[in-house]
Amino acid sequence: MAFRGGNTAASDVAPGSPLLSLLLLLLLSLSARAAGALLEPVGGQLLPYDRLYYSGVRAYFTQEWDRAAEFLERSIATRAELLQVRRGCHDQCEAAAAGDSARLDSADGSLWDLAVFGLVQRRAECLKFCLEQRVTPSAIPPVSLDIQYEFTNRNPYNYLQVTYYKLGRLEKAVSAAQTFFVSNPSHLEMRNNLEKYRRMKGVREEAFFDREKERHWTLHDSGVLAESISDWPRAAEAWRECVNETLAATEDCRANCAGEALQPSEEDNQLTGTKGLYERAAGLSLQLLSCRQSCVSLVATRPGRISPIEDFLPSLLEHLHLAEFKAGALQGAVMSVRAYLLFYPEDPETLSNLQLYLRTPGGSTPESAQPREDISRYVHRSLLEKKLLYFAMENLGFKFTDPDLWTPESVIPESLHESWRAEKEKLDERQAEGQREGETDDSGFYAGGPITLPGVSITMDDATLNGTNRVVLDGVLSPEECRTILGLATAAASSGDGYRGRRSPHTPHEKFQGLTVLRALRLSQDGLVSAAEAQLLYDLGERVRSLLQSYFRSPSPLYFSFTHLVCRTAVTGDQEGRTDLSHPVHADNCLLEPDTRQCWREPPAFTHRDLSALLYLNDDFEGGDLFFTDRDAKTVTAVVSPQCGRLVGFSSGPVNPHGVSAVTSGRRCALALWFTLDRLHRDMVSRKQCAGLHHRPENHKAMDHTTLRAYTQQRHDQTDYFSVQSVHQPVVHCRGCAEFRKTINNTDHYVIMYQGEL
């Protein structure tokens, strides 16, 4: 029995800071024993958990299973302990600064800013001193966003389940698999692994537990269960503890915002990029406040779900006061209902409940005259933060998404109200006309433009495809061109492309092979594939871009975002009883949530993609049809069968969810292209570098796979542009990257090549 869960996570290991990059290079160049020596605890202080994680991943790929288990477990435990240390230091320094607000109030005129600077410096010194007692200096700086994603997505457990299986420690493998699967419920291979574990002798049901389960979710489920059987005392206790644990989890998250979570992204507003001191200070403080507000959503989002439970804390209080009343705990019920009214002070049903509780004997007491103190502090602090953030939205151009529905309208500036009212009126008008939400495409594309290439015909348009901004064009490639590109795909795969033999990231029943334009041109330069074939692959991208830019009447020039030649091959003997898809239903620039029919344009979705295209090369296979669906991911609205020279183009947003049916026999090949309207996100690597790769290097000679890879790394070091491709991630590119460069090693996870000074 083969377990493959860990392999699918390998390409996600992508450190993003120069320090981590240098470290990974060191770990890959040192012996296993020497690398381990760097990671021994010093005086009981916590080590950087990202380094421990990298060591575990490295041991995993060298099949040192005991070391892999040790370092992966240490990374998980160290991260958890680090978060607790940060929370403790946050509370300690906050208590120590209790008198600073009084000093700020007494400061006047030009001395006020000095008082603020003094407060910030004292807080910084306090946190630094506190952390240094428990954490090594190298573990204090925030880890990269990539590492944050790895742990948020529970990828360490993906590696651990394979590691423990190899070690024969089945119950630990089961718990690791269950922990990963809870956060990744659509991961087909892990689902299959869990089913196989359940059929194994000696595996107890108790082994299937979530190691990362948060206590407030356990209490939430207990409260729901107790309510369902009308066990009101037990329900009241569960909801009371759930409220307390939710507040504690929120505080843990907020404390972490000043450490690991506070990292500016490309989408952040311009404040932190300006040179003025106050503008930069405002930008950093607003990022901190926004992060703290987002903790509401993070705590209210179940593992494996995209969106949070709306009004989570108020809903808990609603459950609590009803359960307390039915359990006879009237004083607690009155305090809880008063706490709920802090969020919705004019809610008629809750006000009616309050009057009922007060009229009931034992309900009106001096102790119950006020709401819960912890909820009062929570609401007061949140409102102060919201006022600052909305002020910044109105006056400083800051982007903020309020996680709460209960925010009073008085907190929101009137100018923002007006713009929102205008948007709501437009939406109401569309709904009154009976239009579905999914029919509105705000991409800026408008299908129906001219076809600029002779011999190309429109086979299906919006009407026949039952959607918006969709088209099927035939005749884009000749049969000879299809054969040429198919030959290129075969030759590149057999020349050490790095994808050979890899399972598809979407199903274990198909194998996946891929080739980027840049790699094809490099292979042609080194004599491993025909230069004419590589040139044709490059030219096809330009052909597709020209056709779609014209047909969709692009509002601005289309830029290449990512281009990939992809072949999926059905695994012989592994097709019986298949119910999965070759590619699950998804949208290309947002995270589709079928249950709510929402599509969230946020990472890890490729939010910069605007237009998608698939150019098919063959039809000598079974299955593999492209299909479009409604936002429920179930209602199929159109089906397109691949054939040589057929091009499918569509806008990348929520109006065009799509998937691919299972390839049950043969090999399906297509050129996948994504385009962007944002010049900053263009794939300038391939297009810039390709111009200089049409001639072979001097003194060229045939190279084997190892020599070719070393030569490719050398070429990376000699250019100001670099490209990296993994099984799951798109091309990564930058310009003038003299500090470090990335390429891929033989195990398909990242190797960091470092140059320059830190």
Tokens at residue 296, please?
A: 């509401």
Q: Report yes or no: 333 and 363 within 8 Å, Cβ to Cβ.
A: yes
Q: Which of 727, 183, 748 is nearest to 504 (CA)?
A: 727
Buried residues in 336-348 as b, exposed as e (16+ CB within 10 A): bbbbbbbbbeebe
For β-strands 559-570 and 663-676, DSSP reports them as antiparallel
Query: Hey, what amino acid is at 697?
Result: P
Residue type for 535, please? Q
Taking the C-alpha atoms of residue 649 and residue 376, their distance in angstroms, rounded to an integer, is 53
What is residue 502's DSSP assignment?
P
**Residue whose entry in the numeric block shows the structure tokens 């024993």:** 33
Q: State the distance between the two ends of the chain, measured CA to CA, in whole angstroms.
A: 46
> Is there a contact between 488 and 529 (Cβ–Cβ < 8 Å)?
yes
CA separation for the pair 490, 567 (Å, rounded): 9
Is residue 275 helix, strand or coil?
Answer: coil
| Residue 141, both tokens | 């700086």
Structure-block tokens of residue 335: 């305090």
| β-pair partners for 125 | none
Closest by CA position to 581, among listed 617, 613, 631, 625: 625
**Rounded-to-integer distance, Cα 676 and Cα 466, Å:** 24
The answer to whether 231 and 111 are in contact (CB under 8 A) is no
Place of tokens 């300690």: 92
Residue type, 650: F
Cα Rg of the chain (Å, integer) = 29
Q: Which helix (H) or strand (E) holds 676?
A: strand 663-676
Give the Cα separation of 589 and 653 in Å (integer).
6
User: Is the sign of the CA dihedral 315, 317, 320, 322 positive or negative?
Assistant: negative
Which of 467, 477, 521 lies closest to 636, judged by CA? 467
Catalytic center residues: 668
- Strands (E) located in 304-421: none
The H-assigned helical ranges of 494-627 are 517-525, 531-551
Spatial neighbors of 572 by CB under 8 A, at least 6 apart, are: none
- Separation CA 545–CA 98 (nearest Å): 61
Residue pair 635/641 in contact by the 8 Å Cβ criterion: no
| Residue 372 burial (C-beta neighbours within 10 Å; 0-12, 13-18, 19+) | buried
Question: What burial class does residue 218 get, using C-beta atoms within 10 Å of its C-beta: 0-12 exposed, 13-18 middle, 19+ buried?
Answer: middle
How many C-beta atoms lie closer than 10 Å to residue 318's C-beta? Answer: 22
Alpha-carbon torsion 197, 199, 200, 202, what sign? positive
Q: Which residue has the tokens 């909820």?
A: 375
Neighbours of 120 (CB within 10 A): 13
Q: How far apart are CA 37 and CA 56, in angstroms?
A: 14
Per-residue b or e along 614-640, where b marks 16 or more CB atoms closer than 10 Å to that residue's CB: bbbbbeebebbbbbbbbbebeebbbeb
* Contacts with 468 (C-beta within 8 Å, 6 or more apart), sequence order: 439, 440, 441, 447, 462, 651, 655, 656
